[in-house]
């Protein structure tokens, strides 16, 4: 999977009937189904039951079981409410009749009102001055740990350029934040607003727990720590396009009880805040 169209094909579900849909999986380097894929597919299912033109503004979800890469996922949508301004949908994802994921999503008709947003970091490096994951693989292939090298070798429809690059061989605690520029590969000129939101949901599950791992990097790494997304929430504020790089700016306020919490903001290059994300994940020492 190496283009935006391939990603859209993955996210767009087969329709079984009015409220049931079926999807399939692609690996991102993990033995289990990628959480961002399930999130995006669930939003695709929910959006296809919205018939009044309302726009997704928030989602809240729980990952209950690790998904099996080889099995189809069936998404069932329940209509919770269609009010005067908001529509709410509940989505349940299952494999072999077993629930693996639940999501609630709220859609709103477009309205005008007060406006403010926080600023993007002012001292951030721009993507032209940074190495991508592909560049890092080509430059450091021989010295990268095998698991990191294998992860970078997976073809993706997204290019990532991290602002901070940590040396995986250096055992040193790092600040609990990470900033990553992201850009889609391929033609992005005809994406609908719903498709843009579904792709952004997919992207939002990448990199987010890195900020929590960073704070404990002298001891914790991806090899000796069991990690998994536990829950994921997202809020969409403004329309945007994918013709340029987006900045995903993430920080981790807390880790405790074998869980790490992280929150992030997604900005356009010129500093427009388009969405915010929050996630808690398992961080259990093996």
Helices (H), the chain: 4-11, 35-47, 133-140, 146-153, 193-204, 210-214
> CA 154, 155, 156: angle at the middle one, nearest 5?
110
CB 116 within 8 A of CB 124: no
Q: Going by DSSP bridges, is the β-strand pair 73-82/20-23 parallel, antiparallel, or unpaired?
A: antiparallel
The question of whether 279 is a catalytic residue gets the answer yes
- Phi and psi at residue 205, to the nearest 5°: -90, -10
The question of whether 229 is a catalytic residue gets the answer yes
Query: Which of the following is catalytic: 61, 204, 229, 252?
Result: 229
Provide the edge-to-edge strand list for the sheet that holds 259-268: 14-17, 20-23, 73-82, 86-95, 98-108, 55-63, 225-236, 273-285, 259-268, 246-256, 177-184, 158-162
Q: Going by DSSP bridges, is the β-strand pair 98-108/225-236 parallel, antiparallel, or unpaired?
A: unpaired
Query: Which of the following is catalytic: 205, 211, 249, 252?
Result: 205
The question of whether 132 is a catalytic residue gets the answer no
Query: Which of the following is catalytic: 61, 204, 211, 279?
Result: 279
Active site positions, annotated: 205, 229, 279
């Amino acid at each position: 999977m190496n283009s935006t169209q391939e990603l859209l094909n993955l996210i767009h579900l087969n329709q079984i009937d009015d409220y049931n849909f079926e999807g399939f999986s692609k690996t991102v380097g993990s033995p289990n189904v990628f959480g961002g894929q399930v999130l995006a597919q669930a939003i695709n299912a929910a959006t296809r039951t919205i018939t009044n033109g309302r726009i997704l503004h928030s989602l809240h979800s729980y990952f209950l079981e690790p998904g099996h890469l080889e099995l189809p996922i069936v998404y069932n949508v329940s209509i919770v409410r269609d009010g005067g301004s908001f529509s709410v949908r509940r989505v349940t994802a299952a494999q072999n009749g077993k629930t693996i994921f639940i999501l609630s999503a709220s859609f709103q008709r477009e309205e005008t009102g007060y406006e403010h947003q926080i600023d993007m970091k002012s001292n951030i490096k721009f993507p032209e001055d940074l190495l991508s994951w592909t560049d890092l693989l080509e430059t450091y292939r021989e010295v990268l740990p095998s698991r990191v090298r294998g992860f970078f070798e997976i073809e993706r429809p997204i290019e990532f350029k991290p602002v901070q690059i940590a040396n995986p061989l250096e055992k040193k605690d790092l600040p609990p934040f990470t900033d990553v520029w992201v850009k889609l590969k391929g033609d992005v000129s005809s994406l609908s607003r719903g498709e843009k939101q579904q792709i952004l949901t997919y992207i939002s599950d990448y990199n987010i727990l890195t900020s929590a791992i960073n704070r404990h990097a002298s001891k914790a790494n991806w090899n000796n720590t069991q990690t998994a997304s536990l829950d994921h929430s997202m809020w969409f504020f403004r329309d945007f396009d994918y013709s340029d790089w987006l900045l995903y700016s993430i920080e981790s306020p807390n880790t405790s009880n074998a869980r790490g919490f992280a929150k992030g903001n997604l900005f356009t290059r010129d500093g427009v805040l388009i969405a915010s994300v929050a996630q808690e994940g398992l961080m259990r020492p093996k």
